[in-house]
Amino acid sequence: MTEPGGELTSKDNNNLIEENDNNNESYALLKASSIGYVEIVESLILKGTNVNLKDNNGFTALMISVQKGHIEIIKRLLKTGAGVNKKSSNGLTTLMIASRLGNLEIVELLLNSNKKCKEGSTALILASYYGHANIVQRLITSDTNVDLKDDQGWTALMKACLKGHSNIVKHLIDHGASVNAKNNNGRTALMIASEYAQITTIQQLTSSDAIVDEIDRDGLTALMIACQNGHVETVEALIKAKADVNKAQNDGTTALMIAVLHNHLDVVNLLLNNEAKVNQSDHCSVNALMIAAENGYHEIAKTLIQSGADVNKKDCDGCSAFYRTVIYEHTEVMSLLLENGVDVNEKCCDPKIRTFKRRKLCTSPKPKEPTFCQL
């Protein structure tokens, strides 16, 4: 996963500074700011050295000193009028660097400088992701947009939920952060927290009017995402929050089918114990038992049958769970079906080539981890 904000530098810090003009004094200022030579920095400033010169990575002396944590040099550069809102090649400002690193003292220096710091809302996203609660509190002012999104549509709240920073989540919600905002994939903070099994965060969101059955761009709910990943406690938390266990995607796929497909027996049991419909089928008339049979999941198939699954139900091509066990030679599940009265004389779509249409669900990928833009 690419972390938000990208790399602070593109090279090792000891070799970061490269001369990019003919001004040796400006180059010396960059180097002294990196190493922490306060006296040299003062001397160069008195000589009128350009304090806003950038190195090959787009870093100014102020950015470098912020990254290194050289407080005294930062103070002298700010007093000289160094640009606090200059951006590096990958879009970082001094405030964003300090917020990402969690240095509150430097954040205070920057915010209290004569020049008004911009990008406070973007810095908030970084501080929220990295868990710097004190900086989050400091950055939230009347001018801060707590719902600002990055290039991937992620808000500070979403980043905090991903990492499970419950104290930051509370602070953001208390200051008006939208719990139902969506990123570019249509995912809400609750869906993100559910994917990463952040139980405390899930409880915070559901008690703050998060829409439990909201769907993402693929039609997945938070419950479906949790079922796909096999998070039992997450599923329990969402069910407790009144998640609809029988809600279906556009193709009719339910949370139960997803849990079966990914072989999560504990989740299957939990759903069935909370009124999941065992014989509910998708738009191809495929039900959970057929999925279990096709994949050879004996224990899940046994659980479904014990919960009332129809062993003779057929899909839109006329193929039953038993037919699937024959095709894929899942003898253990085949025997289980025979023990439970399956019709062995069924005829299917094309017995000569013994094939049937595969459902989209069978090949649907697991959710991928969010990709963060480099700020």
Residue 375 is predicted with a pLDDT of: 33
Using the predicted structure, report yes or no on whether residue 290 has a pLDDT greater than 50.
Answer: yes
Mean pLDDT of 190-216: 98
Tokens encoding 168: 């930051």
Instruction: Name the β-bridge partners of 320.
Output: 314
Q: How many CB atoms lie within 10 A of CB 54?
A: 20
237 and 202 Cβ atoms separated by less than 8 Å: yes
Q: Where are the domains of the chain?
A: 22-117, 280-353
Mean pLDDT of 43-48: 92
Using the predicted structure, report yes or no on whether residue 251 has a pLDDT greater than 50.
Answer: yes
Kindly state which CATH superfamily the domain 280-353 is placed in: Ankyrin repeat-containing domain (1.25.40.20)
Q: Tens of pLDDT along 142-175?
A: 788 999 999 999 999 999 999 999 999 999 999 9
Say which residues have a Cβ less than 8 Å from residue 174's Cβ, sequence separation at least 6: none
Q: Residue holding tokens 């009124």? A: 275
pLDDT bin (cut points 50, 70, 90) of residue 4 is: low
What is d(CA 201, CA 190) in angstroms, rounded to the nearest whole number? 8
**Lowest-pLDDT range, 75-84, 134-143, 175-184, 345-354?**
345-354
Same fold, 22-117 and 280-353: yes
Distances 363 to 359, 360, 366 between C-alpha atoms, Å: 8, 6, 9
> The CATH number of 22-117 is which of 1.10.510.10, 1.25.40.20, 2.130.10.10, 1.10.10.10?
1.25.40.20
Residue 3 is predicted with a pLDDT of: 61
**Lowest-pLDDT range, 105-119, 167-181, 226-240, 268-282?**
105-119
Q: Dihedral angle at the C-alpha atoms of 43, 45, 51, 54, nearest 10 degrees?
A: -20
